[in-house]
């Protein structure tokens, strides 16, 4: 799977994605908007990551995602379900304040773990 650099086109109309490995975690740095237009491509890309590893540990870096609509929220919930079904973990890292507020209003932050930094390796 190719990851995007800042010079490459975005995954969707307004979302850039860069993947890096940090210990047991795959950090997926998102920049832009998570919405009806960008969510399907992100779901496809995260689906590829899930398929690459057993018990995937994926951290979505969301500090530069300034907008997330209902399609984006649905994508986050779907990713959580897929990763959990594969025996893995999905966490959100430092969501933008506007996105954090939406997560709280919708109560998604009750089951989508939110951290300031990558959680330690339990093993």
pLDDT at 53: 78
pLDDT at 57: 94
Find the domain containing 46 and state its range. Answer: 15-115
- Could you list the pLDDT tens digit for every one of the 123 residues in the chain? 334 444 445 555 689 999 999 999 999 999 999 999 999 999 999 999 998 878 899 999 999 999 999 999 999 999 999 999 999 999 999 999 999 999 999 999 999 999 999 988 765
pLDDT at 1: 34
Contacts (Cβ under 8 Å, ≥6 apart) of 70? none
pLDDT at 6: 46
Nearest to 68 by CA among 111, 109, 116, 7: 109
- Residue 106 belongs to a domain: yes
- Residue 123 belongs to a domain: no
- Residue 121 belongs to a domain: no
Quote the number of domains for the chain.
1
- Residue 49 belongs to a domain: yes
- Residue 7 belongs to a domain: no
- Residue 28 belongs to a domain: yes
- Residue 120 belongs to a domain: no
Task: Tell me the CATH number at 70.
Answer: 3.30.750.24
Predicted structure pTM score: 0.86
- Residue 29 belongs to a domain: yes
């Amino acid at each position: 799977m190719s990851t995007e650099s800042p010079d490459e086109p975005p995954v969707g109309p307004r979302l850039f994605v860069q993947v890096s490995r940090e210990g047991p975690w795959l950090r997926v740095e998102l920049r832009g908007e998570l919405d009806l237009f960008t969510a399907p491509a992100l779901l496809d890309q995260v689906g590829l990551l899930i398929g690459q590893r057993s018990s995937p540990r994926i951290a979505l870096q969301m500090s530069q995602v300034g907008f997330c609509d209902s399609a984006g929220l649905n994508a986050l919930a779907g990713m959580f379900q897929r990763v959990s079904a594969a025996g893995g973990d999905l966490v959100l890292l430092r969501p933008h304040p506007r996105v954090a507020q939406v997560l709280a209003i919708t109560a998604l932050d009750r089951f989508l773990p939110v951290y300031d930094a990558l959680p330690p390796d339990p093993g």
